[in-house]
Amino acid sequence: MKRILSLMGICVLVACGDDSSGPPNVIDEYTIENAFPSVVLSRPTDVQNAGDGTNRLFVTQQTGEILVFPEQSPDSLKTFLDISSEVNYEHFSELGLLGLAFHPDYESNGYFFVAYTAGTPSARLGRIARFQVSADPNVADVASEKILLEWADSFPNHNGGALAFGTDGYLYIGIGDEGGSGDFNNNAQDRSRIFGKILRIDVNQNVDIVPYHGIPDDNPYAGNSSGYREDIWAYGFRNPWRFSFDDSTLVAGDVGQGKWEEIDIVQKGGNYGWDCREGLVAYDQNDDSLCATPGPFIDPGGPGRRGGGRRGPRAPLRLGGPRSGGHGGWGGLSPGAAGDSGGRRLSGRPARTRRLTGDQPPGAKFLNIVSCGMNVSGTVSVGPLRCLATMRSARPLTVGSSASFLWMNMTMSLSCSMDPLL
């Protein structure tokens, strides 16, 4: 039986092919497919399902729209939500509608959550908001918006945007270090600031009153007297663009500055090092006083594991912006670019890589991996520039077991750890 995987699934196989602790290198057994040839998208940033048994896919577009279509009937594409008038989207930027998550009880309450940038080019805002579906299941009530979090942002890049509910029922939120370069405002290590963090909030508290959420009692800084944000779950990130759960384990991809990408097993109260270090290497191009007595840090991949990936023109995982030779600012994993490059594996040791093969969307020069998400059956999809692509495997792969699914999630997170689309 063939099982559909996304292009995300290939990356860990390429990078870890010689490592006995990881999956075998089976790159030749995959081909790239345009999952829905009749669906034409514009700058997709996320793809999710509502978990309501309807087998619909919801795709966010950077310009401010959420599109919906039944997976078995993609021609009936509709606009689920249009907040383009509220979204601050600047062309050639990392701004826009960036993330989507459905409430675990969406089928009964109709709540869903979005991450987007608002304001103006001279007064940018980051925003996490809740909406509710209307009486029409394919149309959201745009007037139902409740703003849970909002913050001023000095730069157009590093906005994060990942949203996901854990098995604990809480909403996890990825927010970048505000942007600029080298954590310009020294945010990621400062626990009094929202930037460079993964947050954790309870959306079932204060449902009808401001701030439309609450703080879980077991958050690491709940009730602290040090001025730390109580919604912080972990910190020291540069730009956690995408993350995902393997059961209760949160696995995040963090975009590197110029040399290393990270896959992080996110732990309660964990410090993941930025801007004191990039990956496992000290970062010395800042003046952050909080790095004078650094650490302790959690290594990429978790304690005792290495989950960093070399960022550069010879890396087999084309995950960065222009520095990695990718197309535009999101980077791209392109047939030919990923293989035959004498690249490095995730831990930085030499690896054997081979050329990706398969059909690309018509007219595409690169298959730019933009984002990832899962349908109701657990199949992972990706969003290139204009379509949703999947990868079809010639050998069955076990998705349900913790080990293999964790590899998939780690890969998905890293593959989605890219600076947003230019």
Non-local CB neighbours of 101 within 8 Å, separated by 6+ positions: 48, 112, 113, 163, 164, 165, 171
Q: Please return the burial class of 380, using the count of CB atoms within 10 Å of its CB with bins 0-12, 13-18 and 19+.
A: buried
What's the DSSP call for residue 9? Answer: H
pLDDT at 358: 37
Place of tokens 């460079």: 196
Contact 253, 414 (CB under 8 A): yes
Specify the DSSP element, H or E, that contains 148: strand 140-153
pLDDT in tens, 244-263: 887 888 988 888 888 887 88
According to DSSP, residue 179 is labeled S
Helices marked H in 62-121 — which ranges? 106-109
| 363 or 407, which is more confident | 363
Q: Residue with structure tokens 């401010």?
A: 64
Using alpha carbons only, what angle is made at residue 183 by residues 182 and 187, rounded to the nearest 5 degrees? 160
pTM attached to this predicted model: 0.77
Q: Are 245 and 224 in contact (CB under 8 A)?
A: no
Other Cβ atoms closer than 10 A to 305: 14
Residue 243's pLDDT band (boundaries 50, 70, 90)? confident
Alpha-carbon 48 to chain mean position: 12
Percent with pLDDT over 70 in the chain:
64
Annotation: CATH topology of 3-415: Neuraminidase (2.120.10)
Task: Locate the DSSP E strands across 230-362.
Answer: 232-235, 242-246, 249-254, 260-266, 277-278, 281-282, 308-310
Task: Name the token pair of 344.
Answer: 């490095």
The total of other beta-carbon atoms located within 10 Å of residue 153's CB is 25
Lowest mean pLDDT among 35-49, 134-148, 151-165: 35-49
**DSSP letters of 12-65?**
HHHHTTT-TTS----GGGEEEEES-TT---SSEEEEE--SSSS-EEEEEETTSE
**Pairing relationship of beta strands 197-201 and 171-175 according to DSSP bridges:** antiparallel
Check residues 92 and 207 and name the one with the higher pLDDT: 207
Q: Would you place residue 18 in the very low, low, confident or very high pLDDT band (cuts 50, 70, 90)?
A: very low
Q: Read off the tokens for 398.
A: 């076990």
Question: Residue 269, Cβ neighbours under 10 Å: how many?
Answer: 13
Nearest-angstrom CA–CA distance, 52 and 102: 10
On the question of pLDDT at 325 being above 80, the answer is no
Give me the count of residues in the chain. Answer: 422
Model confidence at 140, in pLDDT bands (50, 70, 90)?
very high
CA distances from 404 to 22, 151, 167, 336, 408 (A): 9, 38, 19, 26, 6
Q: Is the pLDDT of residue 192 over 50?
A: yes
Alpha-carbon distance 56 to 70, whole Å?
A: 4
Of 302, 252, 295, the residue nearest 276 (C-alpha) = 295
In the structure encoding, which two tokens stand for residue 308, read together? 């960093």
Over residues 91-130, the pLDDT tens digits come to 778 899 999 999 999 999 999 999 999 999 999 999 999 9
Which range (59-68, 174-183, 297-306, 316-325) has the least confidence?
316-325
**Cα gap 373→102, rounded to integer Å:** 12
Three-state SS at 175: strand
Map out the domains of the chain as residue ranges: 3-415
Taking alpha carbons only, the member of 276, 72, 87, 299 closest to residue 189 is 276
CB hemisphere CA count around 41 (13 angstroms): 33
Residue 246's closest CA among 263, 269, 231, 234?
Answer: 263
303: Cβ contacts below 8 Å, ≥ 6 apart:
none
Average pLDDT along the chain: 72
